[in-house]
């Protein structure tokens, strides 16, 4: 079973050594984790979102929310500065509306990870760009 990204990040935060953190990332490798790490640590990826919008966190129990980060992370490009796949007709106001919809569809902890990804700060002690590059050497190229 694939873990939620927040579960993996919690394990990384609790790991006592870089070696343990590397092992956690390596053995829990999945699409969503890679997308989150790439978005946060790639130096050329920037987002148009700079603050957390007002939204109602989901009260759905873990595993029973309307959506998951594994599916919603693919929509992160909508908030990327200069992404050529984003329609020029997508206004900043509409982007805010879409972000609120995404955040409200995710379980609360996953919404925090999505938002922290956009803010480029996962708030995970010991999780560094260097560590990510060691585990996933081609991810940030």
DSSP 11-71: HHHH-SSHHHHHHHHHHT--HHHHHHHHHHH-TT--BS--SPPP---B-PPTT-SS--HHH
pTM above 0.85, yes or no: yes
Identify the band that residue 63 occupies on the pLDDT scale cut at 50, 70 and 90: confident
DSSP state, 73?
Answer: G
Give me the number of domains the chain comprises.
1
pLDDT above 70 as % of the chain: 100
pLDDT at 94 over 90: yes
Q: Is 99 within a domain?
A: yes
Identify the band that residue 65 occupies on the pLDDT scale cut at 50, 70 and 90: confident
Q: Is 141 within a domain?
A: no
Q: Is 121 within a domain?
A: yes
pLDDT at 62 over 90: no
pLDDT at 61: 85
- List the domain range (segments joined by +) for residue 94: 5-135
Q: Is 140 within a domain?
A: no
Instruction: Tell me the mean pLDDT in the region 116-141.
Output: 97
pLDDT at 32 over 90: yes
Cα–Cα distance for residue pair 72/4, rounded to 1 Å:
12
Q: Is 106 within a domain?
A: yes
pLDDT at 66 over 90: no
Q: Is 70 within a domain?
A: yes
């Amino acid at each position: 079973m694939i873990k939620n990204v927040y579960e993996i990040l919690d394990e990384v935060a609790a790991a006592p050594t870089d070696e343990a953190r590397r092992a956690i990332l390596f053995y829990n490798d999945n699409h969503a984790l890679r997308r989150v790490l790439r978005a946060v640590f790639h130096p050329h990826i920037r987002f148009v979102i700079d603050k957390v919008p007002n939204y109602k966190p989901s009260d759905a129990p873990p595993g029973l929310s309307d959506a998951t980060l594994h599916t919603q992370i693919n929509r992160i490009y909508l908030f990327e500065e200069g992404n050529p796949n984003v329609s020029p007709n997508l206004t900043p106001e509409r982007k805010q509306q879409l972000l609120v919809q995404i955040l409200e569809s995710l379980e609360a902890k996953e919404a925090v990870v999505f938002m922290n990804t956009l803010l480029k700060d996962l708030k995970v002690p010991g999780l560094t760009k260097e560590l990510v590059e060691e585990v996933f050497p081609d991810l940030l190229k």
